[in-house]
Amino acid sequence: MTDWNAMADEDFRREVRAFFEWQYPPQLRYILHRARWHEMKDWWRKLCEKGWIAPNWPREWGGMALDAGKMVIYLEELERHGVARPPDQGITQVGPLIMRFGTEAQKAHYLPRTLSGEYIWCQGYSEPNAGSDLASLQTTAVLEGDHFAVNGSKIWTSLADDATHIYLLARTDRRAKQQQGISFLLVDLKTPGITLRPIRNLAGHEEFSQVFFDNARVPREGLVGALNDGWTVAKALLGFERLNIGSPRRPQYALNRLEMLARAKGLLDDAGFLDRFIALKLDIEDGAALYRRFVEQVKRGEPLGQDVSMLKIWTMETWQRLAELLVEAGAEQGVIAGVHDVAGVETDFLNPFYYSRPATIYGGSSEIQRNILAKYVLKLPS
């Protein structure tokens, strides 16, 4: 098995770049919507055959075990070539969590199937009355013999209709304090009693769903960690999520689209535009440097602290400013929905703008993240 970390950075970059350029479907480069499983499954299988589907996983579970520097190169080449993000929450979130908290039986069952794409995951955290205040969730799971009876609903569940499984938080002890009495469950979406209702977003896509549970019976073997100790598991997953959300990938993707458009329209010759463009490009570089620091921390086996919140704030707010500049660069076409051909470059101006709007809300709003930094990092009084 190749030791990617032992390679020189430029050799690794050349190999990654050559594979993406050779194997990635050209019709999926820089797609203007959230990639769906039916579009990405063939690419997933190519990466899986190559052994590249899980760059963040250890070798023992089929990953590339990339260190922080190589991980950033891998992400940069994804962005440079316009490779869309597949439904990969199993790789980026629940997989590492099962490695850390799961039983040996859970690792043996779920990890290979997640790696192969047999199991596609979605996240069941937010509820209609529990978003940023996640600990107030009301979905219940009552242990009845060898099964939990799950009742309630989850909302804003990304790509749930592409998923085969959901990982969720449910209240298993109503008498406990708010952040106690919660358990973490792995659930097959084919379980009787589970219903999905798609939600159409502002861009006109049904990316989200509300998931309803009506006495859905979940085997006890789906419990990750100890009963009523799901908040401990959830905190670790929120750290993974904020690291993933804080990846420079989204703003870098938007920057590449903006640069293509700006070159086509000659905007890089405009001093005012160029000043804003370079400032945003440097903001992405700063965010990437911060991201590398946290990735290195994870690679050392250290838990992510509350300071990871600043990564999410910086990356998502940079993405929003880029999306706003893209709309401005489109001039009169920038406020008209749909794909436009601008000097030979196909661009959807409003779609990135719409997608960047909730970015400072999901995964914990910027306001909540700033409160966390103020209280736990800066030690300011409440």
Rounded Cα distance, 10 and 18, in Å: 12
| 246-377 carries CATH number 1.20.140.10 | yes
- pLDDT exceeds cutoff 80 at 302: no
Q: Which of 241, 296, 302, 332 is catalytic?
A: 241
Using the structure block, give the residue that is written with the tokens 């490009």.
281
Query: Is 203 a residue whose pLDDT tops 90?
Result: no
Quick: pLDDT tens for 61-94. Answer: 999 999 878 888 898 898 889 899 899 999 988 9
Contact 179, 186 (CB under 8 A): no
What average pLDDT does the chain have? 90
> For 311-326, what is the mean pLDDT?
93
User: Which range has the worst mean pLDDT, 176-180, 196-200, 291-295?
Assistant: 176-180
Average pLDDT in the 128-154 region? 89
Q: What is the mean pLDDT of residues 235-249?
A: 74
What CATH superfamily classification does 120-229 receive?
Butyryl-CoA Dehydrogenase, subunit A, domain 2 (2.40.110.10)
Alpha-carbon gap, residue 316 to 305, rounded angstroms:
19
pLDDT reported for residue 363: 75
Residue 191 has pLDDT above 70, yes or no: yes
Going from N- to C-terminal start, the domains of the chain cover: 4-86, 120-229, 246-377
Average pLDDT over residues 7-33: 93
CB atoms within 10 A of CB 378: 10
- Alpha-carbon distance of 196 to 209, in angstroms, equals 6
The C-alpha angle with vertex 238 and arms to 234 and 241, in degrees rounded to 5, equals 135
Q: How far is CA 361 from CA 126, 131, 320, 369, in A?
A: 12, 9, 12, 10
Closest listed residue to residue 208, CA positions, set 221, 197, 223, 219: 197
pLDDT of residue 187: 98
Residue 192: pLDDT band with limits 50, 70, 90: very high
Residue 144, pLDDT > 90, answer yes
Would residue 241 show up in a list of annotated catalytic residues for this protein? yes
